[in-house]
Structure 1
Amino acid sequence: MAFSGFDPEAFLRDYWQQKSLLIRKAWDPWVDPITPEELAGLACEETVESRLIVGGNGGGLEVEHGPVSATRFDALGTADWTLLVQAVDHHSPEVAALLESFRFIPNWRIDDVMVSFAAKNGGVGAHFDQYDVFLIQGLGQRKWQIGAMCDEASELLPNGDLRLLKDFTPEAEWLLEPGDMLYVPPGIAHNGVAASDHCMTYSVGFRAPSRGDLIGGWMDDLLKELGEEDRYGDAALDPQSNPGEISAKAIGRLHAMVTEKLADRDAFSRWFGAYNSTAKHPEIDWRPGKPMTVEELTEANADGVTLIRNPAARFAYIERASGAVMLFTDGEAFDCTGASAEFARAICAWPEMQLSAQILGSAATLQLVVDLINRGVLAIES
């Protein structure tokens, strides 16, 4: 499915991270890529992150963390509950296909697709997120309310699992039908309530690392490389009139010891690419039972080979001034040149690709493909 009557360029210019936008019939026609029964089946699995929110729009919501048993579903009744299943795109190719419409935003910013199923009056309460989200209405109807901008000072109810707002005043309200989509920027309060007996919503969320995450992660990586012998030195020390002073010269040397490492842009790029590509759900493992060899890959291509990405794997690359690229996936960096660089750009752009004559003619690229298959981030389509 693809967007209908939506202008990505105008959206990025006028709305992205600025204000909410309701898009009627963003998909026309709309077809749900997953059924309520399939979603409930995922929620029963140990390796799938799911939550059950019990209670209606009037308050008193309670959270139950999955897996959710079949008997629990039988006891829920016909109103006042919501099932939330995280990263459904990692388990359903049909749900993953929704993300192709959002490629006007860089892949490294995309997090996952959460899918909810709600009985009438079900919802998760008024809240705000720290990231952008597109709320796509599937089966049924949902009433959405938008409120004011929130921040860390916004008062919350004493329910740590849900982080619900204590005070919420709607500023706009809409009833969404199948195929409608609501964009909500970071920090904007919103509240959704199922207006029909069966209500499905697809939430496309985006990653936004905090300054603290970046500094903490980057510093942790730097500390692994620093040895005990790398210490402060002050040869040709000048005598001081007051030994209690930390001189400006000393502060300059100390500050330089820290900032020289922090200012290494290439090292930061390599760290961030690996950090950002670390799998959120590594348990979705596509590694072959027996490691593949270059010879086996070449032989398989006699029948035509299409490579597909593990939906749980994250791919990205960074261009180098030399024309080479750094490919990142599964928290690892791969330096690529020539045909390997072209392959890296292509596999980051598309969820699947065919092996070309250029790839088959490059020993380095064939080895890279085999390495990625054996890591479980790529596979040969059956």
Structure 2
Amino acid sequence: MRDTLLGGLAPGEFLARHWHKSPLLVRRAVPDFLGLLTPAEIKRLATRPAVQARLILRQGKRWVLRHGPFRPIDFKTLPDKNWTVLVQELNHWLPEGEALLQEFDFLPHARLDDLMVSYAAPGGGVGPHFDSYDVFLLQGFGTRRWGIAETEDLELLPDSDLKLLRRFSPQAQWDLEAGDMLYLPPHCAHDGVALSECFTYSIGFRAPTYQEWVEAFLDFLRDRLQVEGRYADPDLTLSAHPGEIPPELITQIDGMLRQQVHWTHSMVAECVGRYLSEPKPHLFFEPAEETLTLDAFELRCLQQDLHLDPRSQLLFSGKFFYFNGDRFELHQPGSTQMRCLADTRKLSARAMDAELLTVLHDAWQAGWVKFF
């Protein structure tokens, strides 16, 4: 698949020419790809309480957004056209979805978000919009017409649950068939309309705002700063205005903050690692159903491969690993094996040193890794 995924471009060429810069249409990016789901299967998924699903209907110029979980009757009462159902994080619910995401491992896992799937009746779509992140749109069975526009006019319609563009005029337009793929950089306006019953698989990437980073880092600092002392004003003088905040009070607090609140590059790296590996709030792990002692777990590791649970995120920076928000350090040879698990999301059956074995045993008990 890698030979065709980027239309003959090597990953480095794609990054230099298109990533974050310009759209790319690839015909037969995934040859013989018809998708990973049937209409009945995506509707069943959308009824599960743990699955994030949405239903979008177009009624003339009006768009209606509904959130799941849905009931089977909700789909039986839909019209014949102009609607779409979307399911987030298909890679969490379908092994084939996780495998599809791994075809994009020429990009950092820290940037990868999830695999979203949309199933649309003829005329269905989500309306003209733009994303603040990079996205690959891989077509399953059926045909969808995509119009795009590289424009600075990104004003949104007011009073809408959907972030739709007030004005959209496509500069280019293509009909995508099964296996075709369209890459779009951030802020590229686009609109996809189903010409027939169809599926589209969206590989999206994380792009936190600077405000989100600031809030995450302030939370990180709050849990780590320990400042001694208490405000005091032994040299307080008589004030003519008791309602006025003494300027000396503000000056003292300003000086304390400048002296006490500081950070280092390693603190920023730790915050980034924890933040990017932290599971989303709605995700939960199921602990292992069986009980294995450390010795029994070691024997199993010699017999079976270990895989990250699809909901798990394992990243590393320098000597530190970040596993679902936790940070730890490993020494050789465990560090090399753990990096392999982070890169490929699996670890072949093999012997492990005691340090790595303990970490993975804990992760297995928590449901973060699985045997296959």
Normalised to the residue count of structure 2, the TM-score between the two structures is 0.89
* Residue 71 of structure 2 is aligned to residue 69 of structure 1: yes
Cross-structure match for 2:31? 28
- Trace 1:68-87 onto structure 2 (pairs within 5 A): 68-87=70-89
Cross-structure match for 1:175? 175
**Percent identity between the two aligned chains:** 36
* Residue 190 of structure 2 is aligned to residue 190 of structure 1: yes
SS at match of 2:110: helix
* Residue 143 of structure 2 is aligned to residue 131 of structure 1: no
SS at match of 2:103: helix
RMSD of aligned residue pairs (Cα, Å): 2.5
* Residue 346 of structure 2 is aligned to residue 352 of structure 1: yes
Between the aligned partners of 2:312 and 2:281, the Cα distance in structure 1 is 8
SS at match of 1:174: strand
Task: Pick closer, same or farther for the CA change 1:22–1:134 going to 2, 3 Å.
Answer: same
Note the C-alpha offset of 1:313.
0.9
Which amino acid is 1:218 matched to?
Answer: F
Cross-structure match for 2:307? 308
Task: Pick closer, same or farther for the CA change 1:246–1:369 going to 2, 3 Å.
Answer: closer
Contact 2:301 2:350 survives alignment (8 Å): no
- Trace 1:152-163 onto structure 2 (pairs within 5 A): 154-163=154-163
Which amino acid is 2:116 matched to?
Answer: M
- Trace 1:18-167 onto structure 2 (pairs within 5 A): 18-55=21-58, 58-150=60-152, 154-167=154-167
Between the aligned partners of 2:229 and 2:190, the Cα distance in structure 1 is 51
* Residue 269 of structure 2 is aligned to residue 266 of structure 1: no
Of 356, 364, 371, which aligns to 1:365?
Answer: 356
Note the C-alpha offset of 1:248.
11
Which amino acid is 2:361 matched to?
Answer: V
Note the C-alpha offset of 1:374.
1.4
Between the aligned partners of 1:68 and 1:249, the Cα distance in structure 2 is 57
Between the aligned partners of 2:225 and 2:231, the Cα distance in structure 1 is 13
Give the ranges of 4+ consecutive aligned residues of structure 1 lying more than 4 Å apart after TM superposition: 230-233, 243-254
Contact 2:227 2:260 survives alignment (8 Å): no
* Residue 337 of structure 2 is aligned to residue 343 of structure 1: yes
Which range is displaced more, 71-80 or 347-356?
347-356
SS at match of 1:102: coil
Structure 2 unpaired stretches of 5+: 233-245
Note the C-alpha offset of 1:133.
0.5
Which amino acid is 2:306 matched to?
Answer: L
Note the C-alpha offset of 1:135.
0.5
Structure 1 unpaired stretches of 5+: 234-242, 320-324
Note the C-alpha offset of 1:290.
4.7
Which amino acid is 1:332 matched to?
Answer: D
Which amino acid is 1:206 matched to?
Answer: F
Contact 2:53 2:69 survives alignment (8 Å): yes
Task: Pick closer, same or farther for the CA change 1:47–1:253 going to 2, 3 Å.
Answer: closer
Contact 1:232 1:254 survives alignment (8 Å): no
* Residue 326 of structure 2 is aligned to residue 332 of structure 1: yes
- Trace 1:159-308 onto structure 2 (pairs within 5 A): 159-196=159-196, 198-229=197-228, 254-258=257-261, 260-261=262-263, 264-280=264-280, 283-301=283-301, 304-308=303-307
SS at match of 1:72: helix
Contact 2:337 2:347 survives alignment (8 Å): no
> Residue by residue, what CA displacement relative to the aligned partner does 1:306-351 show, whole Å, maximum 9, x if unpaired?
10111011111111xxxxx211121111211112211220110112
Task: Pick closer, same or farther for the CA change 1:49–1:295 going to 2, 3 Å.
Answer: same
Between the aligned partners of 1:24 and 1:164, the Cα distance in structure 2 is 28
Between the aligned partners of 1:193 and 1:231, the Cα distance in structure 2 is 63
Which range is displaced more, 284-293 or 111-120?
284-293
Task: Pick closer, same or farther for the CA change 1:32–1:11 going to 2, 3 Å.
Answer: same
> Residue by residue, what CA displacement relative to the aligned partner does 1:45-94 show, whole Å, maximum 9, x if unpaired?
011000000116x5211001011211111111221100010001110011
